[in-house]
Structure 1
Amino acid sequence: MRSLHSSHQFGYHNDEHVHVSYSSVEAYARDLKQAVESGQLISPAQLYAEVRLRSSVPLAQGIHYLEFRDLDLNPFVATGIDAQELQFMQDFAWFLLSQPQMTGDIDEQLATAARMNDKIAMQAPTTSSQEVADAMDQMAIWLNQQTITKPQFAAFTAMQDRVLHPEHTPAAKLVAAGAFETVGQQLARTNKQWATDEPYLLPGFTDMEQSTQMLIEDAMRIGLKVDVLDRSDQFIRLTNGEHQELVRAGNETRLDNLVASRLVDNKFVTKQLLGEAGLPVARAMVYHDLESAQRDFATSFRNKSLVIKPNAANVGEGVSLFMVPPTPEEFETAFQFAHRYGDVLVELFVRGTEYRFFVVANHVHAILERVPANVVGDGQHTVAELVAKKNQDPMRGEAHRKPLQQLHLDERELAVLAEQGLTADSVVPRGHQAFLLTNSNISTGGDSYDMTDEVDESYKKLAIKVAKTMGQTISGVDMIIPNLYQPYQADQAGMATVIEANYNPAMFMHLFPYSGKSRRVTRAVLAALFPEMKDL
């Protein structure tokens, strides 16, 4: 048969004595109320009608929306319904609303339609249905009078094909596929793979940044209403009853004020404030012009390992790192590179491993060890081949749409390779790590290793103090730590160095690290925004 769900014999239907009139909204609301009060229905939700009138206020005051029911799921689509089927449903509803208002006994006409529906549902899947063909012809005439889009045309054509060729319907295809149990298991495995292969993608929101996708997913899971206000700007609204919160880019919220965000954007001022608070920072100076920087280079920075970077840029833009002290020519080139983004910070290079602490409301929720973009040699493949191989990881993508970023071999990467005596065509010895960049940003292809359970508690307290000093509720604190297991002691130099604090720290890299345990830091943000939701 064509449809179990839509048939009166096998689908969800009420007893014959349950009658709810559709002659008016008032009649519908009255009959539904009486059916519940008399015990014929347990609740309004037990009315198994093809269309239910729904409202957020008493129905007698008006209809909020229509609920279309008794639709068969398409077993060949992982979501149960595809975009064309949804488009057709929308257009079909508009077509019906455009028709002249029914006259006569509406309830009797609906009863006749129900009998016709049951007749069609009980037909063999490959049987043609003239009644449906006639309805499609009427809809085609209506569509020809409209200005329709390509998706609308494609959706109607696809559904018309099912009417003209019933063997193309999901029911007929399911019958033709063979034993239901075997087919069902095969489809289940395929759909499970679809749903779990890329857990970092939220269907329907994959055009948005990773952190925003995951915040939306967690918000939906805990029952918050989510409204996307601007997809390209990552602006959403979260609602719990009367409580609303606006969020941009995953964790820009009312919890942090504008001054705090501007403050941490200025790396030099950040260092000043942290230093005054007794927190360990690297010695640095900021410069507006090359001449001033060159004078200090000759007297203060020469023969020292340096980091030269923009004073206010993010995601590793314009950064040059010199573990071997730079020549005057190299210093000038690095300065000009950073100067593209504004004032330049010249900072003493600190040896050690870099860690990102994700702080929310005076608690460290995740810690990552960050390693610059790199490839590990196997003694057989070139750097370019190793990059291509590493980029095959489905977790790597572009523009923060996936947890890890694609590796590149552009001018900047080739220059870093040259410093190691390598080119894109070099075959890297087995086990040797060749770096493509010197900065450790995940957004430029770096690798992330979760170390939350490994780092000594004293460094977590240090990160919280950094966030407090900068006046931040949500912060990404970057530190260089030579030995993460040795407790921090403020009177011993070099045990930790605070590099910077970030006002909009990326959350996706904690959710899906390159290696290690996933940390659902998005829930920490939601808990700070909605403290009344105790289950967070």
Structure 2
Amino acid sequence: MKLDEIGKQIEASQMTEVLQTLRFQVKRSFALLDKQGQVNQSAEFKNQYLEIKKGQVTLTSRPQQDLAGLNLDMALQSQALKQVLPSGYYPWPWSSSPIVRGVDAKNQIFIQLPEELLLNLYSEKFVQSKVAYTDFRNQVYLKLARQFINYQWVLTYFFGATPFKWEEMVAEAKVSPVRSHRTSLNAVELKEANIIDYRDLAKYQAIQNTGVDFVSLMTEELADQTRVISGLQLNQIDLAPQTDFGQTKELLPLINVMAGYFLMTTGPEMANLRATLTAARQKNQIIAQENPFAQSQFATELRQFLDELGRFAKNYRYNDFSNVMTVLKQRLDKPEETLAARSLRQNQGMSVLATSLANLDYRTTEIKLKTLSHNSLLLLQRAVVKGLDYQVIAPEADIIEIAGHLIDHGISQSQNSLLYSRLWAQKQTAKKLAQAAGVTTSSAWVVKNNHDLSQLWPLLQTKGLVLKPAGEISSNQNRVFRMPPTSGELKIALGRLQKDSKEVLIEQVVAGSNYRALIIAGKLVSLIERLPLRVVGDGRTPLADLLVRKNIKLGQIEKETLKSQGIRLTDVISRGIEVLLRYDASSQTGMQSYESLTEMDASYRPVIENLAAKLGMVEGALDLVIPNIYQVYDAQKDNQLVFLSAHCYPELAFHQKTVFGDQDIVTEIFRLWNLSH
């Protein structure tokens, strides 16, 4: 690995960490087909992220993203696209389209260097050369462009995935599959690419470039009419079939490391530049036309380059690149694991085209991040559908911004009183606030140990009871005793909960259904009934087998709940009969939800919204017990609405995904936040 002057200066100035702050944008285009291979020419949809037009779907990420931001964008777009696709039509996952002409499947990657890096390099070293800064940065980008063309063949081997050229209407049985028709140029295109001059910007612009080459230079005009390079555009990268995003997860990290490597190391000699790039394009042609199951004739060179990249990545601390190397080396050692070969192995006895059409669908994997909550992801997904600007402000704190609106944990907290929010965290304190507002609360006691329990036993022994943490934490050890428990049962339940919470709240069971009211901008937007974990009998299957079918594993509390009902695992449950596995319902205990807002009598709305206002809640949720939501609320009658607790960060998923299907709760949230446009 030989560093050039730029690489040496990056090391001397201790700027190597900036290498990992390269900025990217990705644009993916797919044909829009049905299972017969027919294109949808009429569907139209457009915003800054998603576009459907003339039989083509285009997904465009935000510009200038790091890899984490880019992966989030692609995942959000893939999820959001499901909501705008016309019924019966799907993105065709290949870069070669059946039947369709005029639809250009693309996988374009845009690369920009951090301006901070370029400015520091220039001021600390290259200003001495008397070259203008704009000329210097142009030469840095040209250096990268030359090297990406010089090593396109590496990307073609590892990510080539167009074994057939279906648009030419030639049967697969009559041709041999290749690695990548997409990256293989015809004679006219190859001749055009070979005459493009990458020595300087003026020479590049002097030749008409139709975008046939692997790299295109993105340019912009400054205020003084100087034309400068603003970034690189990589073309001719195959879409990856059988993936969520049209790319495997190894592509972008590899390009990121390659860009850093090319920036710091020596490139082709300028005197022989055209000959070098012509030879590199020819090598790419050969690899693209190879049998995908055969070892490449350039396997040794591929391995040498991978080893060189691996050393570079290790030296400059590219995190997790070793995982990428493992996958790529497997594709090199076993050609049958390359993308093109794997797609050919999954043809189910039919042609690849017929198999792909038969299996055409749109499946996406649920986004799961260590930082952002499901609430935040749900709102970001809707922002993509609406075409709204968004960014992740503080991922570890779960703070995002949509259209200039800061959102904490997926619930806008800018207007909630911080003091009130702290009071909600203690359930007993929140009950006092609700009582002051004239709302009934359940009788409750806080205990810390068995001594406290013994002191309270005379009050508790005749009551149905609920045990839960006294603070804001949630626990799967909550316990509901519908019938009065024994002292021993109560002590066991207390001991289990104290593993999660030092203080335990004991509430008296209140007759009625449990609800959660979602409050946004002070308005009630959803009222879900909280349904405990349960299974439904079919009249044939023992309970144990029903649990296996539902992938439900019983804990001690679930076993005790069944025992209290006199139900055994060997029992066959009658058709349509529900068996409760727990009596409590929370996100920790397998809760389901049923939207009840439209069924609720209108008289409850002002009561609930007024309670939220009295608690200082602009956004959040209230847990309530209501015996009969169909009955008109009468403040003179007892227990028509009982307050249990208040929450800063309710899970929006339970308001979106209900037992009778998904509902669009986010659109109403955006409307109340004035984020509709």
TM-score, normalised via structure 1 length:
0.74
Number of residues paired by the alignment?
A: 490
Which residue in 1 is equivalent to 2:465?
Answer: 306
User: Secondary structure of 2:548's match?
Assistant: helix
Which residue in 2 is equivalent to 1:488?
Answer: 633
| Mapping for residues 147-226 of structure 1, pairs under 5 Å | 150-161=322-333, 170=339, 183-190=352-359, 192=361, 194-195=363-364, 201-202=366-367, 205=369, 209-221=373-385, 222-226=387-391
Once the two structures are superposed, what CA deviation does each residue of 1:172-191 show, in whole Å capped at 9, x if it has no partner? 77789889x96335325546
Taking the aligned partners of 1:129 and 1:292, their CA distance within structure 2 comes to 74
Equivalent residues of 2:670, 2:676 under 8 A apart: no
Equivalent residues of 1:224, 1:239 under 8 A apart: yes
Which residue in 1 is equivalent to 2:401?
Answer: 238
Taking the aligned partners of 2:328 and 2:420, their CA distance within structure 1 comes to 53
Taking the aligned partners of 2:240 and 2:274, their CA distance within structure 1 comes to 31
Which residue in 1 is equivalent to 2:79?
Answer: none
Equivalent residues of 2:479, 2:557 under 8 A apart: no
Once the two structures are superposed, what CA deviation does each residue of 1:408-448 show, in whole Å capped at 9, x if it has no partner? 42222222222222344555455443322221214311232
Cα distance change on mapping 1:369 and 1:132 into 2, 3 Å: same
* Alignment counterpart, residue 302 of structure 2, candidates 136, 139, 152: 136
Which residue in 2 is equivalent to 1:463?
Answer: 608
* Alignment counterpart, residue 79 of structure 1, candidates 245, 267, 280: 245
Percent of aligned pairs with the same amino acid: 22
Which residue in 2 is equivalent to 1:417?
Answer: 562
Unmatched 5+ stretches in structure 1 = 392-406
Taking the aligned partners of 2:452 and 2:345, their CA distance within structure 1 comes to 79
Which residue in 2 is equivalent to 1:261?
Answer: 421
Which residue in 1 is equivalent to 2:503?
Answer: 343
Which residue in 2 is equivalent to 1:403?
Answer: none
Q: CA shift at 1:281, angstroms?
A: 2.2
| Mapping for residues 453-532 of structure 1, pairs under 5 Å | 453-513=598-658, 515-524=659-668, 531=674
Q: CA shift at 1:351, angstroms?
A: 0.9
Q: CA shift at 1:290, angstroms?
A: 5.1
Matched, 1:281 2:441: yes
Taking the aligned partners of 2:456 and 2:378, their CA distance within structure 1 comes to 46
Which residue in 2 is equivalent to 1:67?
Answer: 233
Taking the aligned partners of 1:144 and 1:333, their CA distance within structure 2 comes to 56
User: Secondary structure of 2:549's match?
Assistant: helix
Taking the aligned partners of 1:296 and 1:145, their CA distance within structure 2 comes to 68
Q: CA shift at 1:77, angstroms?
A: 4.1
Which residue in 1 is equivalent to 2:526?
Answer: 366
Q: CA shift at 1:361, angstroms?
A: 0.9
Equivalent residues of 1:75, 1:187 under 8 A apart: no
Q: CA shift at 1:101, angstroms?
A: 3.6
Taking the aligned partners of 2:619 and 2:592, their CA distance within structure 1 comes to 23
Taking the aligned partners of 1:68 and 1:254, their CA distance within structure 2 comes to 42
Q: CA shift at 1:98, angstroms?
A: 4.8
Letter in 2 for 1:322: F
Which residue in 2 is equivalent to 1:247?
Answer: 408
| Mapping for residues 112-131 of structure 1, pairs under 5 Å | 112=278, 116=282, 119-120=285-286, 123=289
Equivalent residues of 2:179, 2:290 under 8 A apart: yes
User: What RMSD, in angstroms, separates the aligned Cα atoms of the two structures?
Assistant: 4.4
Taking the aligned partners of 1:467 and 1:500, their CA distance within structure 2 comes to 11
Letter in 1 for 2:595: D
Equivalent residues of 2:520, 2:672 under 8 A apart: yes
Letter in 1 for 2:332: Q
Equivalent residues of 1:54, 1:64 under 8 A apart: yes
Taking the aligned partners of 1:55 and 1:520, their CA distance within structure 2 comes to 42
Once the two structures are superposed, what CA deviation does each residue of 1:182-232 show, in whole Å capped at 9, x if it has no partner? 63353255462533xx6xx13x748965334323423343343444854xx
Bigger shift: residues 103-112 or 495-504: 103-112
Taking the aligned partners of 1:457 and 1:278, their CA distance within structure 2 comes to 19
Letter in 2 for 1:116: Q
Which residue in 1 is equivalent to 2:198?
Answer: 22
Taking the aligned partners of 1:168 and 1:330, their CA distance within structure 2 comes to 57
Equivalent residues of 2:388, 2:402 under 8 A apart: no
Taking the aligned partners of 2:228 and 2:583, their CA distance within structure 1 comes to 63
Cα distance change on mapping 1:265 and 1:317 into 2, 3 Å: farther
Which residue in 1 is equivalent to 2:550?
Answer: 390
Equivalent residues of 2:533, 2:589 under 8 A apart: yes
Letter in 2 for 1:444: T
Q: CA shift at 1:526, angstroms?
A: 5.3
Q: CA shift at 1:70, angstroms?
A: 1.4
Taking the aligned partners of 1:127 and 1:517, their CA distance within structure 2 comes to 45
